[in-house]
């Protein structure tokens, strides 16, 4: 006599379900981590607040800041020194009429480099260095300045990691003519792209 054994039914199982949730969580967590790494070390979005960089930049412009040179400088232990004329974002503390020290991100143009002697007199900036012992006016570089009248009476020689920065709207800018030189360690990154307004997009 031939006997047939019917297969017994097991409770329904869906082992793929928890694995699916785990996979989705891993993808989301990985994306968040990647975005954080990019923001901290590679690129950062920035919105212009104020009129200090007119005519080059306008209030509420959306920008992309390149942080790779600064990140690399920290890895190698060497100061990141941008080029004259570069527009940078940096941290500045305690110049904003606050009773307590307050750090704020500012965006300005690099006017003076390490070793330069920066003189402001009669509303004009003059840079003296080894290559230009007689001095030169950096504003003749063709930048789109809203106001070339540079306020203040300044005569300073920059140290090995110091920079002199200024807004393109000179009389409406809180910059080195008020708080003095900045150190390269304060730099967050360099402007590389204006994203918005879309009609004004521009690579720097």
Q: What pLDDT, in 10s, does the model give residues 124-144?
A: 999 999 999 999 999 988 898
- Per the structure, the count of domains in the chain is 1
Alpha helix positions (H), the chain:
16-41, 68-76, 176-179
Per-residue CA distances from 178 to 152, 174, 181 (Å):
8, 6, 9
In a domain, 63, yes or no: yes
Q: Which tokens go with 131?
A: 């290559």
In a domain, 159, yes or no: yes
pLDDT by position in tens, the chain (length 204):
555 555 555 555 555 556 677 766 566 666 566 555 665 567 889 999 999 999 999 999 999 999 999 999 889 999 999 999 999 999 998 765 555 567 799 999 999 999 999 999 999 999 999 999 999 999 988 898 998 899 989 999 999 999 999 999 999 999 999 999 999 999 999 999 999 998 999 999
In a domain, 16, yes or no: no
CATH number at residue 55: 2.10.109.10
In a domain, 109, yes or no: yes
Specify the 3-state DSSP secondary structure of 185. helix
In a domain, 140, yes or no: yes
In a domain, 110, yes or no: yes
What is the pTM (predicted TM-score) of this model?
Answer: 0.80
| HSE-CB of 34 using CA atoms within 13 angstroms | 6
Q: How many helices (H) and strands (E) does the chain have?
A: 3, 12
In a domain, 37, yes or no: no
Torsion of CA 81, 85, 88, 92, to 10 degrees: 80
Query: Is the separation of the CB atoms in 102 and 96 below 8 Å?
Result: yes
- What is the extent of the structural domain holding 136? 42-203
In a domain, 27, yes or no: no
């Amino acid at each position: 006599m031939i006997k047939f054994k019917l297969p017994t039914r097991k409770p329904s199982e869906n082992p793929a379900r928890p694995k699916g949730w785990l996979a989705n969580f891993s993808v989301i967590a990985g994306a968040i981590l990647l975005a954080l790494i990019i923001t901290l070390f590679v690129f950062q979005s920035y919105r212009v607040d104020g009129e200090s960089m007119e005519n080059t930049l306008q209030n509420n412009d959306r920008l992309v800041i390149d942080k790779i040179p600064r990140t690399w400088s920290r890895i190698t232990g060497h100061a990141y020194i941008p080029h004259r004329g570069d527009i940078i974002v940096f941290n500045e503390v305690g110049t904003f009429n606050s009773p307590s020290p307050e750090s704020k991100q500012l965006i300005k143009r690099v006017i003076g480099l390490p070793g330069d002697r920066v003189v402001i007199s009669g509303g004009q900036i003059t840079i003296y260095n080894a290559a230009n012992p007689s001095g030169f006016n950096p504003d003749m570089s063709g930048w789109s300045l809203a106001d070339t009248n540079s306020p203040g009476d300044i005569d300073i020689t920059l140290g090995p990691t110091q920079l002199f920065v200024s807004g393109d709207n000179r009389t409406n800018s809180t910059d080195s003519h008020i708080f003095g030189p900045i150190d390269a360690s304060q730099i967050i990154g360099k402007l590389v792209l204006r994203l918005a307004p879309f009609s004004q997009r521009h690579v720097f």
